[in-house]
Amino acid sequence: MIAFNVSTLRIATALALVTTGLAAHATNGINLIGFGAESTLMGGADVAVARDTSALNTNPAGLTQIKAPLLDMFGSVLRTTDLVHKDPRNEEHASNRYTLLGGGGYARPLENMPCTAGIGLFAQGGAGGVFDNLRTPFGNRDDLSSLFGIAKIIPGIGCEVTDKLSLGASLNIVYASIEQDFFANTSVNAVPFAGYKLEGASAVRTGFKLGMQYRVTPALTLAASYTEKTELPMTGGTLTADFTDAGLGKVKYADASIKGFALPREVAVGMAFKPTDDWLLSFKLNWLNWGDAINDVTLRATKPNNASAQSIYGSSMAADWKDQWVVATGVAYNWDNRTTLYAGHNYGKNPIPRQNSSPLLAGTLEHHLTFGAARKIDPHWLMTGGVEWMLPVSVKYNSQLFGESEIRNEAIVLHFMLSRRW
């Protein structure tokens, strides 16, 4: 039995979210559109396909398609091409232009059972931007950033109940972390305003996913999955607030938390159809219950190291996210007996109300186009790679702090996966 603790999960998160600037880009809410190369390159239309170890995080019933031990190692490189915050004083591109994501999975059939079990590590998603040296509303320059990332360790199993029906279940061990710099070197006692820097707040929670695949005919598969909501109260952090203008200097709070984030309840249905032996068409409709997952986000810090400072530093922000429908379509074509080509499209309307937008969320991308290919190196090794284009998005809103504002976002992602079968 594997024992997981916070230290283990932090190491795992470091492997899954190897970042230079932000944890990941907001896509389907704060979720990525897909997991592993094939899932992503088919636009996230994976619930009825799910035939590699990414099935642990998409539809664990698909594990039954793995008939021999399989190891997948995958990674992505994201490059922002237009991540800009604009207000009456600023029009600045985020300094964190690159993000590296990684993960992997291993699965193998169980002896004398119609089941396949596996375990995987996945970067689930996140949001955030780093804007250096902005002109603040108080007449100075300061930094603004928020780095929010989520990763999962997922053990799971899929079993063939009949020749046509497969069922699966997986346990989601979720680690989330957040760091923020909100004009940490700005102090205006007359307003009053005391900027802050939050570090080290994190959460470890568990959830589950259930999945089903039903092979109506050899050419048609129907599928569904259900994911339970996972609360992510990030606690155990420290916060340093700037009370210099009040004569207190920098005050460190030993116990800081951000609460109000959660991974949503999800229901996905899909179908995969093979009109010929060489073509595979896939479709997924996914409902994400963001309306129940992210409402009011609360920052709270206590235990200051200066008795003259306020005992509680905090704020509350209305989020009021809306439920989201995501439509994904994908296609795979066997070019020859060693090469498969992929393409896909993913669309999910931004769940964040315009009036609650923020540069800290980096702008939720809505349309994604994907293209790629897989090549068998030999009977044991398979290499998959491709590109994801996150189409431009622009959100204009009125901020109490910044005034009339705009956040723009666009990015390109390169995806890679190396697979080994025994």
pLDDT in tens, 280-324: 999 999 999 999 999 999 999 999 999 999 999 998 888 899 999
Q: How confident is the model at residue 124 (pLDDT cuts 50, 70, 90)?
A: confident
- Closest C-alpha to 328, from 381, 384, 374, 287: 287
Dig out the tokens for 4 from the structure. Answer: 């997981």
Q: Is the peptide bond before 353 cis (omega within 30 degrees of 0)?
A: no
**Global confidence as pTM:** 0.90
The model's pLDDT over 168-212, given as tens digits with 9 standing for 90+, comes to 999 999 999 999 999 999 999 998 999 999 999 999 999 999 999
- Closest C-alpha to 358, from 207, 148, 211, 120: 148
The model's pLDDT over 142-162, given as tens digits with 9 standing for 90+, comes to 999 988 899 999 999 999 999
What per-residue confidence (pLDDT) applies to 404? 94
Least reliable range by pLDDT among 231-245, 332-346, 355-369: 355-369
Q: Domain-by-domain residue ranges, the chain?
A: 6-421
Cα→Cα distances 315→155, 234, 257, 290, 372, Å: 37, 15, 11, 21, 45
Cα separation, 403 vs 406, whole angstroms? 10
What per-residue confidence (pLDDT) applies to 356? 87
Cα separation, 52 vs 227, whole angstroms? 19
The model's pLDDT over 60-84, given as tens digits with 9 standing for 90+, comes to 999 999 999 999 999 999 999 998 9
Map residue 232 onto helix, strand or coil: coil
Output the CATH code of domain 6-421. Answer: 2.40.160.60
Mean pLDDT of 368-379: 97
